[in-house]
Amino acid sequence: MLYDIFIGPFVQMVEMPDFFLQVLWEGFVAGILYALIALGFVLIFKASGVFNFAQGIMVVFAGLTLVGFYESGVPALLALLLTIGVMGALAYGIERFVMRPLVNQPDIILLMATIGLTYFLIGLGEFVFGGEPKRMIAEELGLPTGSTAFEMGERGLVILQHIDIAAAVIAILMVTALGIFFNKTRIGRALRAVADDHQAALSVGISLNQIWAIVWFAAGLVALATGIMWGARSDVSFALEIVAFKALPVLILGGFTSIPGAIIGGLIIGFGEKIGEIYWGGLVGGGIESWLAYIIALIFLLFRPQGLFGERIIERV
Amino acid sequence: MQTQEMTRTKEPASAGDTILSVNNIEVIYDHVILVLKGVSLTIPRGGIVALLGANGAGKTTTLKAISNLLGAERGEVTKGKIVFKGDEVQALSPNDLVRKGCIQVMEGRHCFGHLSIEENLLTGAYTRKDGAAAIKADLEMVYNYFPRLRERRQSQAGYTSGGEQQMCAIGRALMSRPEMILLDEPSMGLAPQLVEEIFEIVKQLNEREGVSFLLAEQNTNVALRYATYGYILEAGRIVLDGDAKALRDNEDVKEFYLGVGGEGRKSFRNVKHYKRRKRWLA
């Protein structure tokens, strides 16, 4: 038994390095995709201190809109632009009709509002696009398909899906851009100011309405990217919304306010899940993948509640 | 320090030149709670006016009515009007007001805790469109007025002391190039020497940069030493106003706010509570 836990899996890893690398790659890709979802949450949380329950459905909604435009005969790239426009309109609508009337309410009220928003978007999405899963137009958008196999010495090979590589590159680009935006620009600084203190931000002349519209739009763009990447791997369907809950342990791990944290947290969860499932899953009859992330998150909550990179909770008068 | 003055051309403070006037305003919170019952104030351009009163008298509400921040707290100006530089305040958003030169420093500092001191100061310049060089020059000016902020520029504001946070809050307001600062309880929770230091800087800013101030204070003693004019607010009404000097010499003010007994009275034990109300209303 002890051998199976502490030695066996590592022997396996060493004996079959190609398989191990394949598992690592799968973990990496899953991690990147979790990180993309978590990124959307972080954006909204940073600027309004609210956990945006609707981020998952925004991913689905963005994906469906994109496919919907394409299916109605619009060329793929134009459909992408139109979808960006729709996410912008959505951001404006959310700011105008949800956030603005609720300014200065306790965070819990805003959380409830985003839950309401979730159901609104589910209804709207089903009404407009129907409930069936749709195929993502990854190829039409110019994303690489296919795969490359790397030979590993004499036996076995590691297969890399091109779409996964693209996902990783896009995620890294987005994180870099967002990091610069938040820390170096005037609007980014204002976003962080709003996150700290709504009232004080108002008093120095920062327009909350403008800031919120911007941040929801940014979250919408992240949702669109996430929708494309997830959609390319499976289908675009409302079931994707569930995946968003995987972002929760990622956020607890990485910290709700940290963009790099979302990435690192995503990777830890991604690697942990895949490796745990393949090498240790057998011991408990498999299925580790679906709950391991939450256990890791729980342990983190006990010992480091602000996450790995979260802003320290400052309490002083 | 003098060389770092703002480049804005100062208008001479001629007699009767009013920057802000509040005419008989009434403020109601949540549609039911009447907080201000007809408050009128006049702030001359280039003046320092003190608004004095006990807890709950309505000082903060008055200031928030002027900076139009009441909406976020479900408060509403139901009567009267506030005019800043010829425009009605109620028609402007808080950011319009900041752009026009009227900014509030809120009670309890309200620095952005997770931002560094320098980032805090820069948020004050959010509404400005006159370019990075001008903003940088003003940052330098703020550091000259508050050398301590320069030392702490990279620290997260949440970890700085109360005095530094107050300086940061005032500095942040300065970064918007205001003509009028509404300063709410700058002395709150600060040691006496620090209070002096802050008021001294307020006075310098007033003299050198031509910024007008409306100070809401409980610390009547200090406020009346630095202000030119004072209003005393009690339960949502102005009960007394006059030149700072006159107020300082006023027996009632001495008795109730400065803790100096009038003739024959040696301590508060001898002051009957009902008298207070009667004397103000007389």
- Would residue A226 count as lying in a domain? yes
- Would residue A211 count as lying in a domain? yes
CB contact under 8 A, B176 and A199: no
Structure tokens at B52: 């004095």
Residues within 8 A of A (CB atoms), B 152-181 only: 156, 158-159, 162, 172-173, 176
Q: How many CA atoms lie within 13 A of B171 on its CB side?
A: 30
The torsion angles phi and psi of A157, rounded to 5 degrees, stand at -150, 160
Structure confidence at residue A117 (pLDDT): 92
**Residue pLDDT, tens place only, A286-314:** 778 888 888 888 888 888 877 777 666 55
Query: If you ran DSSP here, which 8-state letter would residue A234 be given?
Result: S
pLDDT of B4 strictly over 50: no
Q: Which of B99, B113, B126 sits opposite A190 (nearest CB)?
A: B126
CB contact under 8 A, B115 and A103: no
- Would residue A273 count as lying in a domain? no
Most A CBs within 10 Å, among B103, B112, B139, to test the A interface: B112
Give the minimum alpha-carbon distance from B61 to chain A in angstroms, rounded to a whole number: 14
B109: left (phi over 0), alpha (psi -120 to 50) or beta: left
Q: Which of B95, B104, B110 sits opposite A197 (nearest CB)?
A: B110
| Pairwise CA distance, residues A306 & A312, whole Å | 6
**Residue pLDDT, tens place only, B94-129:** 999 999 999 999 998 899 988 999 999 999 999 998
Give the residue among B85, B77, B31 at the shortest CA–CA distance from B58. B77
pLDDT of A236 strictly over 90: no
Higher pLDDT, A136 or B140: B140
- Would residue A272 count as lying in a domain? no
By the 10 Å C-beta count (0-12 exposed, 13-18 middle, 19+ buried), B180 is classed as buried
Tell me the average pLDDT of chain A. 84
* Interface residue B112 vs chain A (CB under 8 A): yes
What contacts A36, CB < 8 A, 6 or more positions away?
A167, A171, A174, A222, A225, A226, A229, A266
| Pairwise CA distance, residues B171 & B168, whole Å | 5
**Residue pLDDT, tens place only, B21-44:** 999 999 999 889 999 999 999 999
| Pairwise CA distance, residues A60 & A56, whole Å | 7
Q: What number of other Cβ atoms are within 10 A of residue B117's Cβ?
A: 30
Q: Which of A205, A316, A317 sits opposite B176 (nearest CB)?
A: A205
Give the minimum alpha-carbon distance from B124 to chain A in angstroms, rounded to a whole number: 5
- Would residue A210 count as lying in a domain? yes
CB contact under 8 A, A204 and B72: no
Q: What number of other Cβ atoms are within 10 A of residue A304's Cβ?
A: 13
| Pairwise CA distance, residues B174 & B128, whole Å | 12
Structure confidence at residue A32 (pLDDT): 86
**Residue pLDDT, tens place only, B147-167:** 999 999 999 998 999 899 999
Domains of chain B: 13-249 (3.40.50.300), 250-282 (no CATH)
- Would residue A223 count as lying in a domain? yes
**Residue pLDDT, tens place only, B165-187:** 999 999 999 999 999 999 999 99
- The span from the first CA to the last CA of chain B, in angstroms, equals 48
CA dihedral A255, A257, A260, A262 (to 10 degrees): 60
Q: Which of A103, A200, A317 sits opposite B112 (nearest CB)?
A: A200
| Pairwise CA distance, residues A76 & A93, whole Å | 25
* Interface residue B69 vs chain A (CB under 8 A): yes
pLDDT of A175 strictly over 90: no
Structure confidence at residue A317 (pLDDT): 39
Query: If you ran DSSP here, which 8-state letter would residue A285 be given?
Result: T
pLDDT of A196 strictly over 50: yes
| Pairwise CA distance, residues B226 & B223, whole Å | 5
How many beta-carbon pairs below 8 A join chains A and B? 88
ipTM: 0.81
| Pairwise CA distance, residues A113 & A102, whole Å | 9
Structure confidence at residue B19 (pLDDT): 92
Residue of B nearest to A186 (CA): B126
Lowest pLDDT segment from B136-140, B245-249, B277-281:
B277-281
Structure confidence at residue A312 (pLDDT): 61
- In this prediction, residues A271-294 reach a mean pLDDT of 83
Give the residue among B99, B101, B103, B104 at the shortest CA–CA distance from B85. B101
| Pairwise CA distance, residues A135 & A132, whole Å | 10
Lowest pLDDT segment from A89-98, A235-244, B16-25, B189-198:
A235-244
**Residue pLDDT, tens place only, A98-156:** 888 887 677 788 889 999 999 999 999 889 888 788 888 877 887 877 787 777 666 67
Q: Are B258 and B217 in contact (CB under 8 A)?
A: no
Tell me the average pLDDT of chain B. 85
Structure confidence at residue B266 (pLDDT): 43
Location of structure tokens 């700290």: A196
By the 10 Å C-beta count (0-12 exposed, 13-18 middle, 19+ buried), B83 is classed as middle
Structure confidence at residue B282 (pLDDT): 43
Structure confidence at residue A178 (pLDDT): 85
Containing B28, the helix (H) or strand (E) segment is: strand B18-29
Most A CBs within 10 Å, among B126, B138, B183, B185, to test the A interface: B126
Structure confidence at residue B224 (pLDDT): 92
Give the relative orientation of helices B192-208 and B162-174 as an angle to the nearest 10 degrees: 10
Count of structural domains, chain A: 1
Structure confidence at residue A314 (pLDDT): 55
| Pairwise CA distance, residues A75 & B39, whole Å | 63
- In this prediction, residues B2-14 reach a mean pLDDT of 44
Structure tokens at A68: 């919907």
- Would residue A311 count as lying in a domain? no
- Would residue A260 count as lying in a domain? no
Considering chain A, what percentage of its residues have pLDDT values greater than 70?
A: 96
Give the residue among B200, B252, B235 at the shortest CA–CA distance from B48. B200
pLDDT of B249 strictly over 50: yes
Q: Which domain holds residue A193?
A: 2-20+49-242
pLDDT band at A2 (very low <50, low <70, confident <90, very high): confident
Location of structure tokens 């609707």: A54
Give the minimum alpha-carbon distance from A153 to chain B in angstroms, rounded to a whole number: 51
CB contact under 8 A, B115 and A196: yes
- In this prediction, residues A221-248 reach a mean pLDDT of 83
pLDDT of A47 strictly over 50: yes
pLDDT band at B206 (very low <50, low <70, confident <90, very high): very high
| Pairwise CA distance, residues B7 & B177, whole Å | 10
pLDDT of A230 strictly over 70: yes
pLDDT of B11 strictly over 50: no
